[in-house]
Amino acid sequence: MKIGGRAVKWVIMGCLSIALLACWRSGLAQDEQPAPGTASTATAAAEPKPDPAGTATGDKSAAIDGAGNAFVVPEPTDTSDPEYAKKKAAYDEYVEQAAKEPLAVKLADTVGHVRIGTNFSWTLSTGYLVLFMQAGFALLTCGLVRKKNAGHLMMLNFAAYAIAFIAYYVAGFAFQWGAVAINAAPSNIGGSPTLNEFLIGGGQWGFLGGKGFFLSGPAYDASANVLMLFQVVFMETAGYIIVGSICERITFGAFLLCEIFMGAILYPIFGCWAWGGGWLSQLGNSMGLGHGYCDFAGSTVVHGIGGWCAMALAIILGPRTGKYGPDGKPRAFPAHNIVFVVTGTFILLLGWMGFNPGSTLAATDLRISVVAVNTNLAACAGALTAMLFWHLKFGKPDISMACNGMLAGLVAITAPCAFVNANSAVAIGCLAGLVVCSGVLFNERVLKVDDPCGAISVHGYCGTLGGLCLGIFADGTYGAGWNGVGASSYMGNAGQGVTGLLYGDTSQFLCQLLGAGVNIAWAFGATFIIFKIVNAARSMRVTRDAEIEGLDVPEFGGLAYPEDAISSSTA
């Protein structure tokens, strides 16, 4: 691998050091026992034990009805609570009824287990759909580049999956989810109670999770593994997004570094802030900003990170040789296979049926149907808007832009899909179609940032749009108690969920604005700083000759379409 050898060694040593430190710390935490002789009258919470076989996950505490009322009524402890009397009465009634019907209480253990099992099945299956998006994106991007680079694109997409996965297993998962049980326990899939420590920060200001390195110890747990499978494929999505803008000129070695960075550092850290119980998600509790930063399935957490990282890398790498003429005018580098592009887009659409509805982590959360329909509505609205835009501007609808329009709609709806109604979904899709078309033209002609597959516009710009649209269009019909805010009532209404600007909540929009800003600053900033240094140590671009010949042979020794090369020695 022709990359800065010393730079790589430092990066790897740095990563391993952090990982070892975290392992040691989590090992210590496990070994800590209460000092013998200290009798504690308070409920000393014993360190939860991981459950690798899944036999202890899901019991009567997981038995919940459609409205979210638990079968097992918790004992109220806060005597100053205005509702204390009512809660105490409910608890007493439960205790009385449980005594009369012990068999029903036992049955509730089974019911809870089945509920968790159903949700395991749901989360894993939707995760597999998201995994399949890897194939869709590989086809999409391969079709959008020149034939001489087809093998290079395919290998980038392929290798991205493998190496980012390992990076995430080593450290990424722990950074993102190591503290999830503190503020954002995924109760639908067993709660992952063992992942309960921040490496940096704590309470409502967590910055980095600290348990579960190498998916071992506290993370060797059935619930944690479901979370891992589902979340790693989301990370992979951010990982392959960058391929779309850095292809046709990046060396394979430099690319592997990008993927390690994405899987272990860039994605998980923002993911911790927004989803892992970190500070962005807790802004509702800590600073009274709506329900905290919300992003249902990852417009900003996944696509924004990928898109803005892609932009930073594209700027560092520079445009492809010959893309801009001496007068600065861009030249067309046409897609070599539109069939791949459209097929890839449809596979991505199918994958999104896992991406969005799966983010409930529960088949028992029946909002999944609304989520699925909203996703499709935005996809279609985005595609049609892009077709219309291009037809009005250039006379004919461009096929690849129509596909990008659909993807833009999907990206933009990813954050708000659970919180909006059908009309809002269509509106969001239309906005995304406009943004992506303008964005592609803006990047190419004004900023002069070469983005072969439009990844920056589709994922970066529309990802941010999605995050903001949540703060505008969310109608309050779902998400009561999101991020621990307003469980009993919000804005004066019981059961009011996440609400946006158009439905009366300004603070949510402000929170989204803040979170989206942090997303852009983190994704673009961290990538730019680190890879500017890497690029200075050893150029991340292939040589000019290799680029003109096509990267298939110089980088991988073989062609994607070997019959293009005429040889006297093969048939």
Q: Which residue, 285 or 321, has its beta carbon nearer to other proteins?
A: 321
Candidate segments 234-242, 289-297, 308-316, 438-446, binder of other proteins by CB under 8 A: 438-446
CA atoms of 110 and 309, how far apart (whole Å): 46
CA atoms of 266 and 123, how far apart (whole Å): 24
Any idea which residue has 């439960």 for tokens?
94
Candidate segments 84-92, 187-195, 386-394, 490-498, binder of other proteins by CB under 8 A: 386-394
Q: Cβ atoms within 10 A of the Cβ of 198, count?
A: 22
* 446: contact with other proteins by CB under 8 A: no
CA atoms of 227 and 123, how far apart (whole Å): 8
Assign residue 364 a region: left if phi > 0, alpha if psi is -120 to 50, beta otherwise?
Answer: alpha
The residue from 391, 393, 532, 544 that contacts other proteins (CB under 8 A) is 393
Q: Please state the closest distance from residue 432 (CB atom) to other proteins, in A.
A: 17
The residue from 7, 441, 447, 510 that contacts other proteins (CB under 8 A) is 441
3-class DSSP assignment, residue 238: helix
Any idea which residue has 């964005």 for tokens?
439
* 100: contact with other proteins by CB under 8 A: no
Q: Cβ atoms within 10 A of the Cβ of 315, count?
A: 20
Radius of gyration of the chain (CA): 25
* 449: contact with other proteins by CB under 8 A: no
The residue from 334, 492, 545, 570 that contacts other proteins (CB under 8 A) is 334
Q: Which residue, 395 or 492, has its beta carbon nearer to other proteins?
A: 395
Nearest to 124 by CA among 272, 18, 229: 229
Candidate segments 163-171, 306-314, 325-333, 502-510, binder of other proteins by CB under 8 A: 325-333
Q: Which residue, 67 or 332, has its beta carbon nearer to other proteins?
A: 332
Alpha helices in 211-295 (DSSP H): 222-241, 243-246, 252-261, 267-274, 283-287
Do 170 and 155 form a contact (C-beta atoms < 8 A)?
no
Any idea which residue has 């703060």 for tokens?
471
The residue from 390, 490, 522, 524 that contacts other proteins (CB under 8 A) is 390
* 400: contact with other proteins by CB under 8 A: yes
Candidate segments 118-126, 372-380, 397-405, 481-489, binder of other proteins by CB under 8 A: 397-405
- Identify how many contiguous H helices and E strands the chain contains and give both numbers: 21, 4
Q: Which residue, 200 or 441, has its beta carbon nearer to other proteins?
A: 441
Q: Please state the closest distance from residue 397 (CB atom) to other proteins, in A.
A: 11
Do 27 and 211 form a contact (C-beta atoms < 8 A)?
no
* 396: contact with other proteins by CB under 8 A: yes
CA atoms of 184 and 569, how far apart (whole Å): 62
Q: Please state the closest distance from residue 149 (CB atom) to other proteins, in A.
A: 16
The residue from 394, 558, 562, 564 that contacts other proteins (CB under 8 A) is 394
* 102: contact with other proteins by CB under 8 A: no
* 335: contact with other proteins by CB under 8 A: yes
**Residues forming the site for other proteins (CB under 8 A):** 330-335, 390, 393-396, 398, 400-401, 440-441, 444
